[in-house]
Chain A
Amino acid sequence: MNEPLRLELRTSPHVVKDNSVERIMFHVVLALLPIAAFSVWQYGLSALALLVTVTGTCLLTERLFNRLGGTASTLSDWSATITGLLLALTLPPAFPLWMGAVAGFTAIALGKALFGGIGFNVLNPALVGRAFVQAAFPVAITTWIPAFSAQRFSEFAPTTFTLPFMTPPDIGDWARAAVDGFTGATPLARWKFENVLAAPGDFLSGAVTASAGETSAILILLCGLYLAVRRFLDWRIPVAVLGSAALTAWVFQMIDPARYPDPLFVLLSGGLMIGAVFMATDMATSPVTPKGVWLYGALIGVVTVMIRYFGGLTEGVMYAILIGNALAPLIDQVTQPRVFGAAKGKKA
């Protein structure tokens, strides 16, 4: 008798699409890199140091929890890298590095690892980290530096190397010395408190004061488009978020044009663009049903505008997305797809 025959046995389907979680996440990282590069070009060394620190902390924290949980390393799925990059891009470029590390640790530890890691988190980890430091360091997170200052590649902002648990120095004089007439307020704050509107052109060129990743609307849209075309991102979410935000803003402007800004300002200012394209689209924390996806996006858009107009904060994207994340499972429940053949509008 010759050697026993070896046959492969598997359950169907025997062919599968060449896709994987790593691949999706890797491409999101790729799409974030141009935005990160742009922010370094705008803000120089401080922004670079912040990106490296926050992303590094996220990766270390992920590894730490792998070890505590006795599981294999999950760094290779790139998701912690995404969290780190996104988080860094939503912080002020001169944010003290140690606070950035706190944000990174919180993002992964509280936002992800506690829930059981990738896929199980309820809230977007990057936003959990940001919400934590926003509450913990309210001054630092609203301290902005000017873009395109002449010395940005030769010196760090004075706040970057603040010692842990020390109050960061006031940078008003330093910033005004760097760029004449610098006010230190974001366009949203200037609109809210001074009723001054920034020109759309300033947003597109990045010549405004904001978090590192908030200032490059076109670049964000292009990177998002790449992901959507390659099907690594659900295009319906950004469309729903931006559409509903614009529509809400338009309605308010109709009511009182003197008080409320035009929809374009609402779309371009603050973190709405990066939030809609890269944060609201986080797969684990967004709904899965087709109707649910639209509802979720629309909700985020409306809540963002409401917070901006009627809340105490100047920016509402972060909380809007967190609220959307929290509601996603519920949205899924009430928007189950219609089963083939079932009567329309009736639960089968």
Chain B
Amino acid sequence: MSIKQTSMVAALLMACPALMFGAGTVKGKVTFTGTPVKQKPIDMSKEPSCAKQYPTPPTTQTIVTGEGDTLENVVVYISAGAPDETTAPTQAVTFEQKGCRYMPHVLAMRVNQELKVVNSDQTSHNIHPLAKVNREWNKSQPPGTPPLSEKFDKEEFISVKCNVHPWMRGYFAVLKTSHYDVSKDNGSFALPNLPPGKYTLTAWHEDYGTQTADVMIAGSETKNVNFAFKAKAF
């Protein structure tokens, strides 16, 4: 092994303590108890180019459930125990305006990570993240314009609306940690590559609020953590 190769391996090992001590994973499911409020169909008739993309009107996405009372769109992340990560990933995250809805409905990203906002519709949008900790802005995007590029420099959960289409709603979760996931349609999430340590996991839902759980990772093990939110009738 040449000196160059040895030093590269050493650098890699130093950069990833997880590799040295074994990496743990936290997996689990997000569910709800009770009866959630019924989601309402969205009337998009004023925007025919969007309305015609749906055979039946799409519903609001505040509560998206799956089989077995699972809950989608819950952000699960390490809120304590891991060091803040200051260097943002170079890869951008994409938030799409499509069919007069936001895709995905909940987008998690890192502090200072590039956010690309794409308009795939035949109509103008005006994206308006209602930031309170970060700087608040809104930007118009006529059809066919290139993606907008933005970033947020502080940790915050931000509600996003369109100033042109009142029914459009999405959320940005701007996080200081790289250990996060958004629950899938079966309610599952997974946080891999966790170095050994004691962590606090937080699960955030736009309507049901937050829940936390403590978890201890000793080595290359997989811990199971589940969250159950209480559904609100209204």
**Bind each other:** no
Interface residues of A (CB under 8 A from B): none
Interface residues of B (CB under 8 A from A): none
